[in-house]
Structure 1
Amino acid sequence: MPHSPVEQDQVAATRTVTGRDAPRAGGGIAAPRHLSVLLFLGGLTGLLAATVLLVEKVALLADPDYVPSCSINPVLSCGSVMVTPQAEAFGFPNPLLGVVGFAVVTTVGAALLAGATFRGWFWAGLQTGVTAGVLFVHWLIAQSLYVIEALCPYCMVVWAVTIPLFLYTTLHTVTAFVRPRGPAGRGVATLREYHGVVLTAWYLLVAAAIAVKFWTFWQTLLT
């Protein structure tokens, strides 16, 4: 049965992302395989890091003299970060948010790899979640660098996976819901073409901020 003009626009917009016809039967929107793999592996990596952080936090609460395994030196020190108010931004340990959030992301990735499709409202919810996550991560980056002045290695793993999760989920959702023609469509196409440059530049900016902030300390390690 032929699609209506609106359905044809939806199919064309989503084909731009997935390289295949979607939405599927029932109105579900598919995802490209690379996004499905990223959601699964990125979510799993973040879940492991958040779980370790939660275990370390519980150990520190039980024994104030406990030294977390990721406390390596004065700068790379989970312990210095865990005892700050920023580590409990909402009144409970931040890793709890990571465990719940990354468990959801991992599950979504696994479902997509198995061939699942989701409706637009679900993608909007996932987009809201990864956006909140990346904003929170960048607040934590700023707090770690300029207020706490210490870095938590496991937290940095969470930072590293949250950025591409946000970038590629956003790229998928905007492409699925923005018409391929017009200024918005051309902007999305440009982002798709240079997504690797955007991700690399993003990582380099964070790395540069870390390098500059602790430049004196890094120099002492080299001398």
Structure 2
Amino acid sequence: MTRRSTPTGADRGLAVLLMVCGALGLAASAVLTVDKIRLLQNPGYTPSCNINPVISCGSVMRTAQAEAFGFPNSLIGLAAFAVVLAVGVGLMAGAVYRRWFWVGLQLGTVLGLGFVLWLIDQALYEIGALCPYCMVVWAVVLPLCWYTTLHNHPRLRTRYHWVVPALWYVGIALLVLNRFWYYWRTLL
């Protein structure tokens, strides 16, 4: 006996979240890709997001971590965030996706979150520099994963659904503040 997937749509809030996060992630990935191409063409190129010794895209782009799979990580972002944006637009237009589709989106967001956690660790403790466009990706991946999880597991939904993303942002801010305190205190 085979089980058939039942179609599921999503509420307008999830559709908007997918569109906004997908668009932000896609824009950040596009800027990173263009800057990476320019850096490959001209090793002396200075990306516009090189602001100071801590906030320095160029420092991050020149590391092995920026090409974790042998090609620029931003190319993964271009593909992944384009899919997220398309799913959000589809939902907004009334699309209904089967259960297997939502499981696939869940798997993609979980893998994305795992990759982002590794990149955060690398940026803070190995590279010692921050890329603002990378941080945009950090900011959008958790809500994508969290709200996809809540969609797939409705029993987890509470009126305090915002607590997990809020703690994520506070936690990242504290890690960044702590790691680069030596620099931040010179600005006070």
TM-score, normalised via structure 2 length: 0.96
Give matches, 1:198-209, under 5 Å.
198-209=164-175
- How far 1:195 sits from its partner (Å)? 1.2
Aligned counterparts of 1:27 and 1:140: Cα–Cα separation in 2:
36
Partner of 1:173: 152
Secondary structure in 2 matching 1:195: coil
Q: CA RMSD in A?
A: 1.5
The answer to whether structure 1 residue 216 and structure 2 residue 182 are counterparts is yes
* 1:184-217 C-alpha deviation (Å, 9 max, x unpaired): x4xx14xx22211221111101110000000110
Which structure has the greater CA radius of gyration?
A: 1
Q: Which amino acid aligns with 2:178?
A: V
Aligned counterparts of 2:95 and 2:121: Cα–Cα separation in 1:
37
Aligned counterparts of 1:27 and 1:205: Cα–Cα separation in 2:
38
Q: How many residues align?
A: 186
Partner of 1:106: 85
Q: Which amino acid aligns with 1:49?
A: A
* 1:94-152 C-alpha deviation (Å, 9 max, x unpaired): 00000000000000000000000000000000001011111101100000000000000
Hey, which bits of structure 1, 4+ residues long, moved more than 2 A?
none
The answer to whether structure 1 residue 48 and structure 2 residue 27 are counterparts is yes
Partner of 2:62: 83
The answer to whether structure 1 residue 64 and structure 2 residue 38 are counterparts is no
- How far 1:53 sits from its partner (Å)? 0.2
Secondary structure in 1 matching 2:153: helix
Q: Which amino acid aligns with 1:208?
A: L
Q: Which amino acid aligns with 1:127?
A: Q
Identity %: 56
Q: Which amino acid aligns with 2:79?
A: V
Partner of 1:147: 126
Q: Which amino acid aligns with 1:50?
A: S
Q: Which amino acid aligns with 1:136?
A: F
- How far 1:27 sits from its partner (Å)? 3.0
Partner of 2:108: 129
Q: Larger RCO: Structure 1 or Structure 2 (Cα < 8 Å, ≥ 6 residues apart)?
A: 2
The answer to whether structure 1 residue 33 and structure 2 residue 34 are counterparts is no
Q: Which amino acid aligns with 1:193?
A: R
Aligned counterparts of 2:68 and 2:144: Cα–Cα separation in 1:
22
Aligned counterparts of 1:27 and 1:216: Cα–Cα separation in 2:
54
Aligned counterparts of 1:43 and 1:98: Cα–Cα separation in 2:
9
Aligned counterparts of 1:140 and 1:134: Cα–Cα separation in 2:
10
Aligned counterparts of 1:131 and 1:198: Cα–Cα separation in 2:
15
